[in-house]
Amino acid sequence: MKTLVIDPKIAGISGDMLFASLIDLTNSFDVVWQLENEINELENCKKFKVEVKDEDVGIVAKKLDIVLEERRLKHPDELKRAINKVAKNLDLSQNALNTINRVIDDLISVEAKLHKGNFHLHEIASLDTIFDVVGSVMLLDKNNFLDAFIYSTPPALGNGYIEMEHGKVACPAPATLEILAKHKFKYSNLQINMELTTPTGAALIVNLANSVIDFFPPITPSKIGYGAGTRKTEGLLNVLRVVEGEEFRAVNDKIIILETNVDDVSGEIVGYAINKLLKEGAIDVFVTQAIGKKNRPVNIISVITDYKDYERMVELLMAETGTIGVRIYELPRLVAERKKKIVEIEIRGKKFQVTIKTSKVGKRVINVKPEYEDLRRIAESLNLPLREVAKIVEVKLRKLRME
């Protein structure tokens, strides 16, 4: 499965760094010139010129230099109109247009929250915001990454102070922190006195990444792109790295297993806790009966969860059961790739839609199974035993595969 890893855990992420790294990865320069021409057509643009160059910052990375003369955008509606005018002239997919609008909506919403009332755009009011956002999403779209799985490492935020329109503010910028908080997006940090992740970079990464991981996933890398930032500082390679690869789909990220013993909780409470945990996003929950302290029967409640959700699941497990301790295990998990397909099957003169789940490891199909709820619906509709319906569907599927 095609995979992209965006790695901002050392140098953070900005819009221009992401765009530059994707140019380096895909070797796609035509997008830059297309976008440059479209921005020059905007009413408030007097001059917009882009140079893509190789910058030696310890390693050679792509860097974007922009010469810009503009009337800065003041109102959110102006920014939305301008960015949609540019995007709609570039033959982007609907997925790309939706992604661009989500990024801009995040930037506008945090400005509204921070400044209240009849606010004006500040740091995001420049045309280079449009260039960075549309350019990054356009390259992802043209190279089919929006349909791939995108990982991100936690972005580094930086320290020190930032000069803003209203004066100095502690790093990270308020807008950056608000965006990360809105999406509950994990970040990291280094003792570097400069801004590493910008609001535009934060808005892009939270809307692009499907998963935040501390370490690189198990993939076979094929290409790597490097995008250089504007500022240089001793002790930091100010470069964003992106990696394209193929993920072995029988391997997933590490999972967390939470486990607790309860011997003084009723079956009703345990049942409710299981439903609540599953509803809130647990991968699975199961209960094992055992003999505990003082030879008393106990229920061992086990919760399988993603790494990003485990703290929330611990709190929920403790709140619902009253347990005062939870054991936490980190384990690798092997998972077959699964795809769903809807097929039409005729049984006793009636046609039914049945969802078929196919499991694969690599190119080898290891299981084909109809969705239980569809079988139940057919059984109830025809007043037949479920096992009889399952056998009929299995025969029909075998015939379909042979045709």
Identify whether residues 212 and 122 lie together within a single domain. yes
Q: What is the CATH number of the domain that holds 286?
A: 3.30.70.1380
Cβ-Cβ contacts under 8 Å for 109 (sequence gap 6 or more): 182
Helix 174-182 / helix 94-115 crossing angle, nearest 10 deg: 120
CA distance 306 to 101: 28
Cβ-Cβ contacts under 8 Å for 106 (sequence gap 6 or more): 179, 182, 203, 206, 207
Token reading at 27: 């070797």
Identify whether residues 221 and 237 lie together within a single domain. yes
Q: Which residues pair with 357 in a beta bridge?
A: 340, 369
Identify whether residues 71 and 137 lie together within a single domain. yes
Identify whether residues 236 and 130 lie together within a single domain. yes
Identify whether residues 206 and 300 lie together within a single domain. no
Segments forming the whole domain that contains residue 184: 2-247
Identify whether residues 69 and 154 lie together within a single domain. yes
**Strands across the sheet with 284-291, in order?**
284-291, 297-306, 255-262, 327-331
Which of 197, 215, 247 delimits the end of a domain? Answer: 247
Q: What is the largest CA-CA distance in the chain?
A: 82
> Per the confidence metrics, is the pTM higher than 0.75?
no
Identify whether residues 130 and 98 lie together within a single domain. yes
pLDDT in tens, the chain (403 residues): 789 999 999 999 999 999 999 999 999 999 999 999 999 988 888 898 999 999 988 899 999 998 988 887 777 788 888 888 898 888 889 999 999 999 999 998 888 787 775 555 555 667 888 999 999 999 999 999 998 999 999 999 988 887 776 678 888 888 899 999 999 999 998 888 888 999 999 999 999 999 999 888 878 899 999 999 988 777 788 999 999 998 765 555 678 999 999 999 999 999 999 999 999 999 999 999 999 888 889 999 999 998 888 899 999 999 999 999 999 998 877 777 778 888 888 888 889 999 998 887 767 788 888 999 999 999 999 999 999 999 999 888 887 765 5
Q: Say how many domains are in the chain.
A: 3
Identify whether residues 112 and 172 lie together within a single domain. yes
